[in-house]
Chain A
């Protein structure tokens, strides 16, 4: 804290509750479980409502990946999401965060998330202030995703890569962080009852990995 600033002013400085909480509560450390498949970790991800099903499903999440959870610092903060093009190999046509596999040349998961944001939606690093990591999220499609939460300058500009992203849009944080909007649904997947979250916002159907990561954000920042 700066000495000499009158305490009255400091105490009453405007608070931006979400970002303050996020700074205090998000992970600073990169979990070893990102690359170490044997490291002790609570399985959080697709099926995390019923972890024994992972065994039955016979899939292994092995590929380290990173996504950016961009929270735009407006008076009413919003989350920036993308709609993936139908042509992509994985999670095509779904609502997603910018992100992808961590390359050997990426210095850190954070670097990978920032690189992907630049490649997919042309979001420059100068608009992004990284805050911290969420919990590792394992997907049925084989990824071990480490989400990086970041504050995004509301004056950001995008340049969307049409090969990967069909659209980018904001959804109010308040909507996404209201547990009443967190639907728990079930779907049959190769004879296994697969559980997942969905948070439909108007005509945007947010579900699966993206909804699961948003649910984790809620749990880390607001629950208990």
Chain B
């Protein structure tokens, strides 16, 4: 067929470039310095991170965890837009809610008391504290709360419902600005969830 096109409209070229750069960066220590890179925009990829943390490429789930981790390592956020970046290119992708999911909780006793360590779905461990805060957003549909954990550079993980229940179980009441708040302590910080008297609504 003369008019045969690559089914993805030629996106694989850009994606190959990103993957090969990310692989090179992956050999170094820590996540690549995506904040230092500001290459020209090369359009949007048909790539989406769904609310449940699944990555889709051309509407198909990416079945290789190693590949998802690779792309996650070069994820960058500018305002509410998300991109995969390398030193030479920057492609837009869609993120339905938060790009990561916090899926495992490990509690440690440190110098400053309890530290909540979260593992994300792409296998980063994040120690919750002043650098990695928890925030709780109202969920209008249910009247409940949606918890998020800061991972790095404006990238957040949604905390799964199962772990949120753990947090509620470990929570405590504190007075903040004259109001009794229910929240959770980690790394010496208190992260308020909601006024203590509204507990029943989200627990």
State the A residues within 8 Å of B (CB): 1, 3, 7-8, 10-17, 20-21, 23-29, 32, 39-43, 135, 216, 219-220, 223-224
Interface presence of B49 (CB below 8 A): no
- Does B70 count as interface, using CB distance less than 8 angstroms? yes
For the complex formed, measure the closest distance between the CB of A51 and the CB atoms of chain B, giving whole angstroms.
Answer: 8
Q: Kindly specify which of B103-111, B127-135, B194-202 makes contact with the partner chain.
A: B103-111
Nearest residue, chain B, Cβ from A43:
B169
Task: Tell me if B98 counts as interface (CB < 8 A to partner A).
Answer: no
- B57: CB under 8 A from chain A? yes
* B107, A13: Cβ atoms closer than 8 Å: no
A224 & B160 in contact (Cβ 8 Å cutoff): yes
Residues of B within 8 A of A28 (CB): 104, 119
Residues of B within 8 A of A20 (CB): 61, 63, 65
Give the segment of B12-20, B34-42, B86-94 that binds chain A: B12-20
CA distance A16 to B67 in the complex (A): 15
Give CA–CA (A23, B63) in the complex, Å: 12
Residues in B lying within 8 Å of A, measured CB to CB:
8, 12, 15-16, 19-20, 23, 52-54, 57-58, 60-67, 70, 101, 103-104, 106-107, 114, 119, 121-123, 160-162, 164-166, 169-170
Q: How far is the CB of B44 from chain A (nearest CB, A)?
A: 16
Partner of A29, one of B20, B58, B104: B104
Whether B162 lies near A220 (C-beta < 8 A) is yes
Are B16 and A7 neighbours in the complex by a CB distance under 8 Å? yes
Contacts of A14 in B (CB 8 A): 63
Report the nearest A residue to B166, measured CB to CB.
Answer: A42
Contact of B121 among A16, A25, A39, A40 (CB under 8 A): A25
State the majority secondary structure of interface residues on B. Answer: mixed
Within the complex, the shortest CB–CB distance from B197 to chain A, in Å, comes to 20
Cα A8 to Cα B6 in complex, Å, equals: 11
Residues of B within 8 A of A216 (CB): 162
Chain A min CB distance to B18 (Å): 9
Is the pair A11, B57 in contact by a Cβ cutoff of 8 Å? yes
- Cross-chain contact B67 with A1 (CB below 8 angstroms): yes
Kindly state the separation between the CA atoms of A12 and B104 in the bound complex, as whole angstroms: 28
Chain A interface mostly: loop
A25-B121, A28-B104 known; A17-B61 Cβ under 8 A = yes
Task: Give every chain A residue within 8 A of B161 (Cβ-Cβ).
Answer: 219, 223-224
Query: In the complex, are the beta carbons of A24 and B53 less than 8 A apart?
Result: yes
Residues on the A chain within 8 Å of B8, using CB: 8
Minimum C-beta distance from A31 to chain B (A): 8
Q: What are the residues of chain B within 8 A of A7 when measuring CB–CB?
A: 12, 15-16, 19
Interchain CB contact under 8 A, A11 and B104: no
Name the residue on B nearest A223 (C-beta). Answer: B161
Nearest first, the 8 closest Cβ-Cβ pairs linking A and B are: A224-B161, A15-B63, A42-B169, A1-B66, A24-B121, A25-B103, A13-B63, A219-B162
8 contacts between A and B (CB under 8 A): A1-B19, A13-B63, A24-B53, A25-B104, A27-B104, A40-B114, A42-B170, A220-B162
Residue contact A15 to B61, C-beta cutoff 8 Å: yes
* Nearest CB of chain B from residue A218's CB, rounded to whole Å: 10
Residue of B nearest to A13 (CB): B63
Chain B residues lying within 8 Å of A13, measured Cβ to Cβ, are 63-64
Min CB–CB distance A64 → chain B (angstroms):
18
Name B23's contact: one of A3, A29, A41 (CB within 8 Å): A3
Q: Are A223 and B58 in contact (CB under 8 A)?
A: no
Partner of B70, one of A1, A29, A42: A1
The contact of A23 among B15, B52, B65, B160, by CB within 8 Å, is B65
B103–A24 touching, CB < 8 Å: yes
Closest partner residue, chain B, to A16 (CB atom): B63
